Amino acid sequence: MTIDDSFFLNVGIDAVGFYAPKFRLSLDDLAKRRGVDPEKFRQGLLAEEFAVPDYGEDAISMAIMAAQNAITRGGINPMDIDAIFVGSESLPYAVKSIASILSAFLNIQENAFTGDTLHACAGATLGLLNAVGLVNSNIIDKALVIGTDISKYPLGSSGEATQGAGAAAMVICKNPRIARIGSKFGKVSGHVDDFFRTLYSENAEVFGQYSTVAYLNFVLKAYDNFKSQAGPFLADYYVFHAPFGKMPIKSFQRIMFERWFDDSVKMKLMLAKAEERMYTKQEREMVLSGKEELQLATITLLREKGFQEDEIIGLNYFYKDWLALKLMPCLDVPMRFGNCYSASLWAQLIHIMETRVKEGDTIYFNSYGSGATAISGMFKMQPGFKQHLSQGPTVLDYIKKKQKIPIEHYEMYKRDLIPGFIHTGHVVAAPENKSFLNVAMCERGCVLPQQEEIRRCPQGHSGVHEHSFPMIGIVEKIDETDVEMKDHVCVDSVFLVGDIKSGNKVELAIRRLKVEPDTGQIHWYPAYVAK
């Protein structure tokens, strides 16, 4: 049942990074505001809270921070990266890639591929496949792959509780220090109208029950296609795209009870568990009524296959044990950050790599993108990988680093009414700072291209100023408060966002702070927020 080591390429994940907004909305508070039972969210979705972006925080700002974390944690020289692929549904421009924007902020060499890979929540997975193929064929040496998204639904809508935000980044190369990827992939695609967002709409449209059915159908088909190429297998961990926490659980259950019955070794393992103990009347009633782990549809299926009640009850507890060991550890991500769309799967993968897996462990992954496609594959952990994940910030750090916001703050954010409170001041590197972000800017703060021949501002602003921003700093002094971005000249000072005072410790956070009224050109600025 173990896949041979030769199945895995000498290509894979060499460094990882994650980023999520610190603001979180409790779903208990949302349930109270909407007049629904909190258990509808807690048990029905397996969700507790979701991330809400701060002022000026968007998919680009999150992508830059996740990528910077990966580069710093992995000790990667940005000039060694010769491709950036970004998967996202939260595009700022109809024409202009996120990847090209990132290249300027991350000091990536100009002789690099940049591009966005799009297929709903599977966008980053397609970027990963691009990177693996190019590296494995020796066309490039090192690629940066990022999934970054903010999921949005209207106030009071059925999808409101499944919103979220986050970004995950991975560096892909040969001789990876963290994990090698398999040489075969499960894949299925088709025209399915389960979920979509029209070009000029901020909010997605989803056909709830139909979308769930489509997701599960494609997940099973991708599993079947992977197994047909890799042969029978048992992974040490399973990771699925998570629109909300319950969906991976449904996927795992469907795979176990609709696919494993054809495998005599797995069936023997499951039935042995079913014979281990006697069950009380209360346990029997709970399991057989669908109030434990097994869903009623699965219980019906088992009965149709000739399983007796005690066997079904035993299989419930076998599944419960495997669920706790093989799937649940990664579900902290959807439970705490909500649906991160293209970052969802990869943030979960990073989380269990940082907290659970051991050398030699295998991880089966299954990515889903509405519209629809599903892609599955496998990673194998490398010897000594833990030392390359020891430096933070980890996903767990972001889980802990949160600020609970009242429902009124969230509703103001949804109506685009959150005040900016943008100040200017001087920041020096904190003693513990280890890295800097270097960019060239005009006198008004527009980020300039790296190419010397065209290093000037298209807006006509003068000056080329090289800035080096410490990732962690201390505010020396405040120059101006509540500045107007359109009038501000940015040469020696830096932007500070929020309630920040002289002496405060701050951290760098790229923010979207200005949009040109005539052209729609968007400006992202290095800024500092309270640490």
The catalytic residues are 89, 121, 241
Give one DSSP letter per residue of 485-526, joined into a string.
GGG---SS-EEEESS--TT-EEEEEEEEEEE-TTT--EEEEE
Pairing of strands 494-497, 186-189: unpaired
Q: Which pair of tokens denotes residue 10?
A: 């000498």
Cα dihedral sign, 261-262-266-271: positive
The count of residues in the chain is 531
- Return d(Cα 481, Cα 268) in angstroms, integer: 69
Mark residue 138 as left, alpha or beta (left: phi above 0; alpha: psi -120 to 50; beta: remaining).
left
Decide: 234 and 1 in contact? Cβ < 8 Å.
Answer: yes
Mark residue 75 as left, alpha or beta (left: phi above 0; alpha: psi -120 to 50; beta: remaining).
left
| Those residues with Cβ within 8 angstroms of residue 202's Cβ, 6 or more apart along the chain or in another chain | 152
Decide: 379 and 180 in contact? Cβ < 8 Å.
Answer: yes
The Cα angle at residue 21 between residues 18 and 27, in degrees rounded to 5? 115
Could you give the 3-state DSSP secondary structure of residue 113?
Answer: strand
